[in-house]
């Protein structure tokens, strides 16, 4: 459905996107997982035609978006990170406006708006001004505005940013249903659990580059079968190296160490060695193989909400 090849985008001296490649199949939910500033929004903006890549190509259903973006845009549904709605209009009026930009009109437009409002449980508040909506309600209308014209390819840029769990669950369900009905979805997020639970395939993106890509299973295999153990205490790095000899250390400094163990019993043995050498351990953290540990392993830092 969509093929992204070697796209690059630079703003001044900052390389926002630096040679990204991926493809997404029809009906698939493809996640771009990364922290703020990783290049997710720039990538979405280039796919939607809002920004022109400095180099590289993007094709949707075999059509280069650089050449015939008008044709492609009708098939795209873009849900931006900001709540891009007119506050002074009602939810229904907003949907009518955005739908009309995609050629909907008359009865077809009214029906589509009513259907979307029902989908997000906003029928009763449809005629209230958007400025009077809660954050979650605005997010839901924001989503509807991108879906009202029934697009084939849906681009969602952090659509659940800053909303309550209930509204988030509602939005994620809608996205899942869209994909089930054959729509292709590209979803950016910095929430690990969203990527884990929603996406068929995930790309870990950081500093404008995709570092790893695959299904959740494929990615966790990258992290191996090992648990990630993090210890903090009053130990010196020299002593720690000796105690952890034979184990794979990811990060070591005075007072903190992160290492991998393939068997849980090893952790007890390591802790005993620390206690016997007179070192006090303040905190022990064990993480099973997960997207979080994959992210940690690939980027060297944790992705926090």
Structure tokens at 61: 């259903």
For 39-100, give the DSSP string: SHHHHHHHHHTSS--SEEEEEETTEETTT-HHHHHTTEEEE-SS--S-TTSBHHHHHHHHHH
CB of 242 to another protein, least distance (A): 56
Q: Which is nearer to another protein, 125 or 138 (CB)?
A: 138
Structure tokens at 141: 């209308």
Identify whether the C-beta of residue 22 lies closer than 8 Å to the C-beta of residue 206.
Answer: no
Contact positions with another protein (CB under 8 A) in 145-164: 145
Nearest-5° Cα angle at 32, 22 to 69:
60
Tell me how many residues contact another protein (CB under 8 A). 28
CB of 113 to another protein, least distance (A): 15
SS3 of 157, please? Answer: strand
Q: Which is nearer to another protein, 94 or 293 (CB)?
A: 94
Binding mask 95-124 for another protein (x = CB under 8 A): --xx--xxx---------------------
Contact positions with another protein (CB under 8 A) in 63-92: 70-71, 73-74, 76, 78, 80-86, 88-89
CA 219 from centre of chain: 15
Position among 1, 29, 34, 48 found at the interface with another protein (CB under 8 A) = 48
Helices 165-180, 135-147: inter-axial angle, 10-degree rounding = 10
Q: Which is nearer to another protein, 74 or 264 (CB)?
A: 74
Contact positions with another protein (CB under 8 A) in 129-148: 145
Return residues touching another protein (CB under 8 A): 45, 48-52, 70-71, 73-74, 76, 78, 80-86, 88-89, 93, 97-98, 101-103, 145
């Amino acid at each position: 459905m969509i093929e992204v090849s070697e796209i690059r985008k630079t703003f001044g001296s900052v390389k926002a996107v630096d040679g990204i490649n991926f493809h997404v199949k029809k009906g698939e939910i493809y996640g771009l997982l990364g922290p703020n500033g990783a290049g997710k929004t720039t990538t979405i903006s280039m796919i939607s035609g809002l920004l022109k890549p400095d180099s590289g190509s993007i094709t949707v259903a075999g059509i280069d978006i650089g050449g015939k973006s008008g044709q492609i845009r009708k098939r795209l549904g873009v849900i931006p990170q900001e709540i891009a709605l007119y506050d002074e209009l009602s939810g229904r009026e907003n949907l009518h406006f955005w739908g009309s930009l995609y050629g909907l009109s008359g009865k077809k437009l009214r029906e589509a708006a009513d259907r979307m409002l029902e989908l997000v449980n906003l029928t009763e508040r449809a005629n209230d001004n958007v400025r009077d909506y809660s954050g979650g309600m605005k997010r839901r209308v924001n989503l509807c505005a991108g879906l009202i014209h029934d697009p084939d390819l849906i681009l969602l840029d952090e659509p659940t940013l800053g909303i309550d769990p209930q509204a988030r669950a509602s939005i994620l369900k809608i996205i899942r249903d869209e994909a089930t009905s054959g729509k292709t979805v590209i979803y950016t997020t910095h929430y690990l659990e969203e990527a884990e639970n929603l996406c068929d395939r995930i790309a870990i993106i950081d500093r404008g580059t995709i570092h790893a890509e695959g299904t959740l299973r494929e990615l966790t295999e990258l992290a191996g079968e090992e648990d990630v153990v993090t210890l903090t205490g009053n130990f010196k790095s020299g002593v720690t190296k000796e105690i952890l000899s034979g184990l794979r250390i990811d990060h070591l400094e005075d007072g903190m160490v992160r290492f991998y163990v393939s068997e849980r019993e090893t952790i007890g043995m390591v802790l005993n060695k620390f206690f016997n050498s007179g070192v006090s351990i303040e905190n022990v953290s064990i993480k099973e193989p997960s997207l979080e540990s994959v992210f940690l392993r690939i980027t060297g830092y944790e992705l926090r909400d």
